[in-house]
Amino acid sequence: MINIFIAVGGSGAKVAETLVRMLAVGFPTKFDQGGIATSAGDELQIWRLDPDRSSGAAQALQKAVDEYAFLLDSLRKGDAASNWGMEIERDARGQALVRHLDPLASHEENQRVKTLRGILHSQGKALNGQVAKDARPFLSLFYDSKELDVEIDRGFYQKPFIGAPVMAIFAETLKDANSSGGRQCQLSYLETQSVRFFLCGSLHGGTGACGVPVMSKFIGDHKKTKQSQLD
């Protein structure tokens, strides 16, 4: 079983760090075939969703993950099945991995993307040689100029109404396996696996308050779509 913990914003990252530390002291998540409470035999993937790439919470999370991987390797007895606890995802070099999902990554080619105006207006690019409509009249219906020009590469400043459209655009890109987020999440691969999703973030801030509802809806809709295709 793959357990995917999506840590949204700083609060989500701190909860993910706490989860890793609980696993390190032997906190069980299931009963094995012998009736023993354990977390061994499953895998944990941590997806950190946050536009703030230099977050202190992210650094603390990575440190905890690295220490947990070291503990697993130190207590392993001969084979991979003898883990102390749940295995943590590793990269190609065997290092503990946290997937850092940046909702701004797909807009980096546009110098205006540090602001909501840059992201939302950049969506109106010309297609098939046709001139795209100006998005500014629509944006002004929902946002003040000062809100459109807030730099958002360090978070959404307890303003989920600013982050919600950014998260919605990001979630839509996950359907494209060639997008930045699509390559990191690999949804097509997960569709063939046994997976449980856990979503965590503060609903009283900015990043979590906009990211948790958007991502929960995306995951639910994606699951329903795939199920209907199999029916």
**Each residue's pLDDT tens digit, 83-92:** 778 999 999 9
Structure tokens at 70: 């070291």
Please report the beta strands in the chain, taking only residues with DSSP state E, as ranges in sequence order.
Answer: 2-8, 30-31, 37-38, 43-49, 87-88, 99-101, 195-200
What pLDDT was estimated at residue 218?
Answer: 94
DSSP 3-state assignment of 74? helix
Q: What is the mean pLDDT of residues 139-145?
A: 86
Higher local confidence (pLDDT), 135 or 40: 40
> In a 10 Å sphere around its CB, with 0-12 CB exposed, 13-18 middle and 19+ buried, how is residue 23 labelled?
buried
Spatial neighbors of 11 by CB under 8 A, at least 6 apart, are 57, 200, 201, 202, 205, 208
**Tens-digit pLDDT profile for residues 187-222:** 988 988 899 999 999 998 889 999 999 999 999 998
Q: What is the mean pLDDT of residues 173-200?
A: 91
Strands 37-38 and 30-31: antiparallel
